[in-house]
Structure 1
Amino acid sequence: MSRTVQIVFDAAEPAKVGDFWASALGYVRESPPEGFDTWPQALEAFGVPEALWDSADAVVDPDGSGPRLFIQKVPEGKTVKNRVHLDIRVSARGDDREVADAAVLAEAERLESIGASRVEWREGMGSRWLVMQDVEGNEFCVT
């Protein structure tokens, strides 16, 4: 049996979170269904009230190899640490620490330019990573 994986984020502003992760991962906004030029056209045809058009967003890997990220609007804000998070790997296992840290710091600077913030460096089991937060405070790691 074949399976696919979709990762779901809760958010106050789905499009803002979608924009961040599309930029962070080199993803693109998911195209509207076949037969529609825009999402508003599709949503209107599906009978979705206009007041709900900003309730979700989705970004996808343009190569089709990575998981779809679906971002859904929720009324409550984030209050505790994520139980699941993404890791963005920019260094290779076996890189010496100086090379790996330089790659991580370069990526951190790029991610900060699109709205991320640094939290702290962590180490364990022979690895080192930088914990960051996306535009709504969801933690992720750069390693």
Structure 2
Amino acid sequence: MTTKWTLTIDCADPALVARFWCTALGYTESAPPQGWDTWEAWFTDLNVPEDEWNDGASISDPDGVLPSISFLKVPERRTVKNRLHLDLQVAGGRAQPQHLREQRIRSTGDKLQAAGATLVEEFGTDNVLDHLWMQDPEGNDFCVV
């Protein structure tokens, strides 16, 4: 039997990082719990102080197929390289023509930089781009492949 799971990303500003990952993955903000029309209504009804409303965020695959991702506010900043990261597989695989793979990787990289990501390094050999190492707005590592 499998176990239902989600991925949680520690961060300083859950709303900011969640918006970035919605752009990166095509996800949407997770719906509020059943019985509430908005997250604000849920927070209010449960007497959550307004200064705690950005202590967490959650995004979901709009098709309901892929796992949801949660964002949790933590006081400490990331200090070392992530041991776990996401690979955004946009190129279509090595069977695709290299010019098409590179176009897809660069196009996605450009879109994500416009959304707040930072390009750390390009990887490849013999002038053939394989992937981009990037960081989200708070420095969490990911790759575009």
Distance, in Å, in 2 between the alignment partners of 1:103 and 1:41 is 40
Distance, in Å, in 1 between the alignment partners of 2:80 and 2:2 is 34
Query: How far off its partner does 1:123 sit?
Result: 4.4
Which residue of the partner structure matches residue 99 of structure 2? 98
Query: How far off its partner does 1:4 sit?
Result: 2.4
Which residue of the partner structure matches residue 121 of structure 2? 120
The within-5 A match list for 1:69-108 is: 69-93=69-93, 94-108=95-109
Query: How far off its partner does 1:106 sit?
Result: 0.8
Say if 2:9 is the partner of 1:9: yes
Which residue of the partner structure matches residue 138 of structure 2? 136
TM-score normalised by L of structure 2: 0.90
Whichever residue aligns with residue 52 of structure 2, its letter is L
**RMSD after superposition:** 1.6
Which residue of the partner structure matches residue 41 of structure 2? 41
TM-score normalised by L of structure 1: 0.91
Distance, in Å, in 2 between the alignment partners of 1:17 and 1:72 is 10
Deviating 4+ runs (over 4 angstroms) = none
How many equivalent pairs are there?
141
Which residue of the partner structure matches residue 54 of structure 2? 54
Other structure's SS at 2:107 match: helix
